[in-house]
Amino acid sequence: MLGIVRQKMLGQSLLKIRPAISVLRSYSSAAKQMTVREALNSALDEEMSADPKVFLMGEEVGEYQGAYKISKGLLEKYGPERVLDTPITEAGFAGIGVGAAYYGLKPVVEFMTFNFSMQAIDHIINSAAKSNYMSAGQMSVPIVFRGPNGAAAGVGAQHSQCYASWYASCPGLKVLSPYSSEDARGLLKAAIRDPDPVVFLENELLYGESFPVSDEVLDSSFCLPIGKAKIERKGKDVTITAFSKMVGYALKAAEILEKEGIDAEVINLRSIRPLDRSTINASVRKTNRLITVEEGFPQHGVGAEICASVVEESFAYLDAPVERIAGADVPMPYAANLERMAVPQVEDIVRAAKRACYRVVPLAAAA
């Protein structure tokens, strides 16, 4: 029932929000279109078909085919022993999933929203993340915790948080956050195959977005490396890092900046932990400027870690102060106008890039 209500609320809000997240994209050798939802579904299907140890569990993943239809058709194909509907008890089924991973199975645990993962955070952090180290490498925990993360639309403060920096701060976890259909397919396959626990942060506003995919991406053997970022757009004047939905915003900002003579390089992080520091620093050493973009809170955020890495490794290459674009340092408002002000917008990225490139006249000079 909760899934039905949330889906109706989301559908009403998407009409207002979709223009902001639909941006021009260019992918080499791309021939077909695939939604992020289809990409995730196909990745799950192929990995379950290839390995009988893989199974899916969570609220409404079976009979209802997923709150966002990510698991559509899987119950019919694989049966209730491998697609398990659970009660509304995240602590319970996350713990069962970790125990199954101890036993050698490969559970994929779906949270209807990662905000609900707070009920299960003890199992994620203290059981899944630490067991390999505490057993001196004798125990592997091949489990994936996946579901929508970050702000949606009109769901209030308790359902709108970004958990990227929360989980990325914990040793023993790998944290992935896809943007495109290529990301979703390749990274989810990598997560399921990985011997370590993976937190897989999706975005519900991207589920219905279509992206071009190549024949290589559609191949069942396709898999992306964990810990490697992708340069979505090459540039020479300023580096913009982003992940998840914010990659689309960064690409849109880059298009606007191009019209004003600023050539921005956009990096899709893909992997939050491990973080591809080498790609980020190599880009900054070329452009001499850095803008980080994320939906989460600014303090102790992903952008803060990236800025620290660049200052430590590439400080001498910087020609301007680093700029961090993040969500407002407040709980998410419910009112639509305040909600928009609380999350980064394309114009925020454009303004930051102009500041970094000294294209903005200082207030004192303007006076």
Give the DSSP H or E segment for 242.
strand 238-242
Q: What is the pLDDT of residues 114-132, one digit of tens each?
A: 999 999 999 999 999 999 9
Average pLDDT, the chain: 91
Would 13 be classed as within a structural domain? no
- Shortest CA distance to 94 belongs to which of 82, 78, 79, 111? 111
Section 187-207 average pLDDT? 97
Q: What is the pLDDT of residues 173-189, one digit of tens each?
A: 999 999 999 999 999 99
Q: Which domain holds residue 345?
A: 228-355
Does residue 251 sit in the same domain as residue 347?
yes
Count CB atoms within 10 A of the CB of residue 261: 9
Does residue 189 sit in the same domain as residue 48?
yes
Does residue 45 sit in the same domain as residue 158?
yes
Would 160 be classed as within a structural domain? yes
Whole-number pLDDT of residue 360: 74
- Shortest CA distance to 162 belongs to which of 170, 150, 173, 153? 150
Does residue 233 sit in the same domain as residue 179?
no
Does residue 160 sit in the same domain as residue 237?
no
Contacts of 225 (CB under 8 A, 6+ apart): 190
Q: What is the pLDDT of residues 121-160, one digit of tens each?
A: 999 999 999 999 999 999 999 999 999 999 888 888 898 9
Does residue 169 sit in the same domain as residue 256?
no
What CATH number is given to the structural domain containing 165?
Answer: 3.40.50.970
Which amino acid is present at 137? G
Section 261-284 average pLDDT? 98
Q: Give the end of a domain, one of 183, 211, 239.
A: 211
* Edge-to-edge strand ranges of the sheet holding 230-233: 230-233, 264-268, 238-242, 290-293, 323-325
Known catalytic residues? Answer: 90, 159
Would 90 be classed as within a structural domain? yes
Would 222 be classed as within a structural domain? no
Q: What is the pLDDT of residues 86-124, one digit of tens each?
A: 999 999 999 999 999 999 999 999 999 999 999 999 999
DSSP, collapsed to helix, strand or coil, labels residue 193 as helix
User: Based on the structure, what is the number of domains in the chain?
Assistant: 2
Q: Give the end of a domain, one of 211, 241, 263.
A: 211
